[in-house]
Structure 1
Amino acid sequence: MCGNRDIVIIGGGPVGMVLSLLLAKQGIGSTVLEARRLGAANQDARALALSYGTRRILEKLDVWQALVPHATAINKIHVSQKGSIGRSLLQAEDYRQEALGYVLSYGALCKVLSAQVSGSPLIHLIDEAQAESITRDAACAAVRYRRHDALHELQSALLVLADGGRSLEEVAGLKRDTKEYGHDALITKVSAELPHDNIAYERFTPNGPMALLPNGERDFSLVWTGEKSRIAPLLELSDAEFLAQFHAEFGDRVGRFLSVEKRMTFPLKLSQLQSSDTPHLVVVGNAAQTMHPVAGQGFNVGLRDAEMLAWHIGNTPGALGGSEMLAAYRASRKTDTRHGLLFTDFLVNIFSNDILGVSALRSAGIGMFDLAKPVKRFLVRKMSFGK
């Protein structure tokens, strides 16, 4: 028998907290281990792109209304390629949705979720708890963690790894398939001369794809990806030089760019856990799969992991954490995850390729896509709700 009746969740970021709240809705207790100090993530200004389906999950948890003041709706997505006339436009009203998605900061989401978690008697959050090892036997799993220089251990019939992949290499029996793109992503926030009108832009250039997401009254969050050799020098430019180069790549759709905040870069990869039978241990979110940010799918796929796992925990008659239950969960997530990985990898391969002749084909494809209403409808549903 396991010593702890709660489900143990390693990782108190948005995916781990959403899972704990979904379980609490079903009357199921959980213990959440978070490596950072409580509230440390609340000032994190990094932008998250939330799908319309993610909004529906947050509405279930009664937290969406508290997030509305911090969220900027994406009502349209404008897709274009530099140097060509081909363009496509997706509009929420064409698909009977209030919005195609939303942009808000990681910190704002963490703050609202933390407040909800703190108010739940079924959730025990332990902060500054650094997981060091995980072991499993036929009956349960155990995690050893360090807090304030003291070692502790928790056992559970189901241990969920939702730590964004930081501990995977230390977990026995888990292997990951990884594809290194050799690309970096530059992220920052810019202000523009003209209002954004709740339009997001996906712009494909010889220097890499860029996404410009409305964030606030007049600002945009920028994600600019490309080969390391092209992205790294952008950090060395002055603000004025960077804005001039960015404007030259993006164009005049929102006028001049007036200011830029701190620029940061990180390497990009595509990775997924190899399928394996791991009773009493399940991996969700970025710890299970990491996607290129070109389509904004990774975070939303992770929340759908949490939603479906919570459903299986509450509705599977078999033993908690047993092979049968976890096999059913993995089967339920296989299609959505695979399609997300394939879709983002396809976009990277097609739109980061500057071989002679490919650019013209891309331009024609973007133009044809704008006329293919069934394909656009399928894409919007995929981006909003998964499979």
Structure 2
Amino acid sequence: MKQFDVVIAGGAMAGMTLALALDTLSNGKLRVAVVEPFPVDHQAHPGFDSRSIALSFGTVQILRQFGLWHDIEPVATAIKHIHVSDRSHAGMTEIDHRELGIQALGYVVELADVGRIYHDKVLHSPQIELITPDAVAQVERTQDHNIVTLQSGVALQCQLLVAADGAISSCCEQLGIALREHDFNQVAVIANIRTEMPHQGQAFERFTQQGPVALLPMSDGRMSLVWCVRPEVAQHMTELDDCAFLAQLQQQFGWRLGKLTHVGARASYPLLLRYREQNTSHRFAIVGNAAQTLHPIAGQGFNLGIRDVASLAEELMHSLDDVGQYSVLSAFKQRREADRTHTISLTSSLVHLFSNDYLTLRVGRNIGLALMDNIPPLKTPLLQRTLGLVAR
């Protein structure tokens, strides 16, 4: 039986970031296993697929702390300016990096690029073992340790098991950690877009009757599109030819970047809030999408997951001899409670506020956006969440 301090179920962004963070913060004193069901092929791996994600300013500081940002930065595109608007109405607010005296508000990275970088780092770390393709089949917990049996029949003993295996976490299901769900009745259509005018580091979030349309700046002049629509519309949108799709997107987004000229392969996925109120159990912790999967509005989900990872890694440093003991996990749970609750509440409220065209809500949100743009103190809560400068 192989012996580890920590076994991490899931080798996508949250799991790999945690493994590398533990290695860095402990100076290689912790033995870590990452169990990943998908072979290491970042073109096919669902956790490191063709999607892009926005890393907040705060997330970048966390990745710097773990010694990871230096290698990610060359493949990242800076967000210099964020433009938030409500289609066909006056409400609008803008955030610019120069107003805040920082180099960028955040960065956009392609998951496939980060996956390649992380895999290379793990291969060069003697204290991290990547076990793939394999998955957790059974978990047996005793007072002092866990026995984790994999589908291959290999058994791993560890002081702490961490679930980073996605929204439908098999580890959480096995241990009976309840999952709560809320269906937003929206589907995200994602694709990469090219525009007539250069994006110049601008990111856009535009609220429409069906849901938000977000365009994030990428390398090579591309933009990453996340377009939230009703389920009955999504099927139609994915079946349109490129010209018809771009025409409909142009109508919703407008002409701030000139003509939308090209669209890449399109994909879609349903939008649900999934979260587990309990993020710890005996010798067990939950991070990332396994703990909560949010609506993409305002780009909060991944950054919240990285704050989970950072807080857990830091708490484990207080007890390197037994990283799974109750006091460590209790401190992690208490530390994450306020941030998780507030961020889940914020994103859900924004979806319901901005994804309809009721007159009273339309007037209220447009007044709110206009006030935020003209009265700086009203922008502060939005800025803190956007930049990821949140107590954790």
Q: What interval of TM-score do these two structures reach, taking the shorter chain for normalisation?
A: over 0.9
| Structure 1 stretches lacking a partner, 5+ long | none
Q: Is the 8 A contact 1:81 1:203 kept in 2?
A: yes
Structure-to-structure mapping, 1:1-387, within 5 angstroms: 4-25=3-24, 26=26, 27-41=29-43, 44-146=49-151, 150-168=152-170, 170-275=173-278, 278-316=281-319, 319-383=322-386, 384-387=388-391
1:346 maps to amino acid: S
- The more displaced of 43-52 and 106-115 is 43-52
In structure 2, what is the Cα distance between the partners aligned to 1:65 and 1:184?
35
Q: Cα distance, 1:89 vs. partner?
A: 0.4
In structure 1, what is the Cα distance between the partners aligned to 2:87 and 2:75?
32
- The more displaced of 313-322 and 245-254 is 313-322
1:385 maps to amino acid: L
In structure 1, what is the Cα distance between the partners aligned to 2:105 and 2:127?
33
1:341 maps to amino acid: I
Q: Is the 8 A contact 1:226 1:352 kept in 2?
A: no
1:123 maps to amino acid: I
1:145 maps to amino acid: L
- The more displaced of 315-324 and 62-71 is 315-324
2:17 maps to amino acid: V
In structure 2, what is the Cα distance between the partners aligned to 1:336 and 1:385?
11
TM-score by length of 2: 0.93
Q: 1:163 to 1:206 in 2, by over 3 A?
A: same
Q: Render the CA deviation track for 1:54-81: whole Å, top value 9, x for unaligned.
A: 2112222333232222111101100111
Q: Is the 8 A contact 1:80 1:202 kept in 2?
A: yes
In structure 2, what is the Cα distance between the partners aligned to 1:112 and 1:159?
24
In structure 2, what is the Cα distance between the partners aligned to 1:20 and 1:276?
18
How many residues in Structure 1 have an aligned counterpart in Structure 2? 383
Q: Is the 8 A contact 2:279 2:333 kept in 1?
A: no
- The more displaced of 285-294 and 321-330 is 321-330
Q: Is the 8 A contact 2:215 2:223 kept in 1?
A: yes
2:216 maps to amino acid: L
In structure 2, what is the Cα distance between the partners aligned to 1:276 and 1:323?
13
Q: Is the 8 A contact 2:9 2:135 kept in 1?
A: no
Q: Cα distance, 1:277 vs. partner?
A: 5.9
In structure 1, what is the Cα distance between the partners aligned to 2:279 and 2:118?
31
In structure 2, what is the Cα distance between the partners aligned to 1:94 and 1:276?
37
Q: Is the 8 A contact 1:160 1:284 kept in 2?
A: yes
Q: What fraction of aligned residue pairs are identical, expressed as a percent? A: 34
Q: Is the 8 A contact 1:318 1:324 kept in 2?
A: no
In structure 2, what is the Cα distance between the partners aligned to 1:318 and 1:339?
33
2:325 maps to amino acid: G
In structure 1, what is the Cα distance between the partners aligned to 2:42 and 2:252?
36
**After the TM superposition, which segments of 4 or more aligned residues of structure 1 sit over 4 Å from their partners?**
316-319
In structure 2, what is the Cα distance between the partners aligned to 1:226 and 1:134?
39
Q: Cα distance, 1:274 vs. partner?
A: 2.7
Q: Render the CA deviation track for 1:301-348: whole Å, top value 9, x for unaligned.
A: 111111111111111489531222211101101111111101100110
Q: Cα distance, 1:173 vs. partner?
A: 2.3
Q: Is the 8 A contact 1:23 1:29 kept in 2?
A: no
Secondary structure of 1:28's counterpart equals: coil
In structure 1, what is the Cα distance between the partners aligned to 2:322 and 2:130?
25
Q: Cα distance, 1:120 vs. partner?
A: 1.0
TM-score by length of 1: 0.94
In structure 2, what is the Cα distance between the partners aligned to 1:118 and 1:386?
32
Q: Cα distance, 1:82 vs. partner?
A: 0.9
